[in-house]
């Protein structure tokens, strides 16, 4: 708890997961920020101009500039959108990124993680037990390269499937 809070500059170990379609907007971020925790802006369902406007507002809101994150729901069918979104994250120097999806990490996500990991706090939420197990076995290391280090993995496994005894759940620092 203490290392988690200190590394992110938090008073309490609480993360406000991103809600899509603009539900977790500026007021969401401000409420988490004022409580000493970290909120994530949900980007899924918003256009790139809408996201850019929200990021500008974050930059202009006192106390919020570095103390928020952006959530990304990756999708293999939205390559151009993802690439544009990652360009906005670079432009606005967003340092907390929350990745989640229902497929393997996309090419755009992998490229961003390879090139932009330094100084960023990457949170990866896996929903499929297979992907969790693959990540924990370091199979992702080959795809992301040796320099990739995600500080936190948010592992939320699906209900047990055929042949599985239980789901995997937890928040782990990646070692």
pLDDT value, residue 76: 84
Residue with tokens 């990540």: 135
pLDDT value, residue 140: 63
**Model's pTM, two decimal places?**
0.79
For 6-19, letters b (16+ CB in 10 Å) and e give eebebeeeebbbbb
SS (H, E, C) 144-171: HCCCCCCCEEEEECCCCCCCCCCCCEEE
pLDDT value, residue 166: 46
The SS3 assignment for 13 reads coil
Give the whole-angstrom CA distance, residue 68 versus residue 33.
7
Give the whole-angstrom CA distance, residue 20 versus residue 84.
17
Count of CB atoms situated within 10 Å of the CB of 89 = 21
**Degrees, nearest 5: CA angle 116-108-93:** 35
Give the whole-angstrom CA distance, residue 166 versus residue 57.
43
Residue with tokens 């999708």: 75
Average pLDDT, the chain: 77
Per residue in 43-100, pLDDT (tens digit) is: 989 999 999 999 999 989 887 867 899 999 888 888 899 999 999 999 998 988 888 8
Per residue in 100-151, pLDDT (tens digit) is: 876 677 888 888 877 766 677 777 777 666 666 666 666 666 666 666 665 5
Model confidence at 18: pLDDT above 80: yes
The SS3 assignment for 123 reads strand
């Amino acid at each position: 708890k203490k290392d988690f809070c200190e590394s992110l500059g938090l008073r309490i170990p609480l993360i406000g997961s991103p809600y899509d379609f603009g539900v977790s907007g500026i007021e969401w971020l401000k409420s988490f920020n004022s409580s000493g925790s970290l909120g994530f802006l949900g980007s899924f369902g918003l256009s790139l101009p809408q996201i850019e406007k929200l990021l500008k507002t974050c930059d202009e809101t006192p106390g919020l500039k570095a103390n928020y994150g952006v959530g990304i729901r990756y999708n293999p069918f939205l390559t151009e959108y993802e690439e544009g979104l990652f360009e906005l994250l670079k432009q606005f120097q967003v340092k907390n990124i929350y990745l989640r999806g229902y497929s393997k990490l996309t090419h755009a996500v992998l490229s961003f993680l390879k090139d932009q990991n330094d100084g960023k706090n990457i949170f990866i939420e896996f929903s499929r037990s297979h992907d969790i197990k693959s990540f924990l076995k370091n199979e992702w290391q080959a795809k992301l390269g040796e320099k990739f280090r995600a500080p936190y993995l948010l592992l939320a496994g699906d209900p047990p499937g055929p042949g599985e005894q239980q789901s995997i759940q937890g928040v782990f620092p990646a070692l």
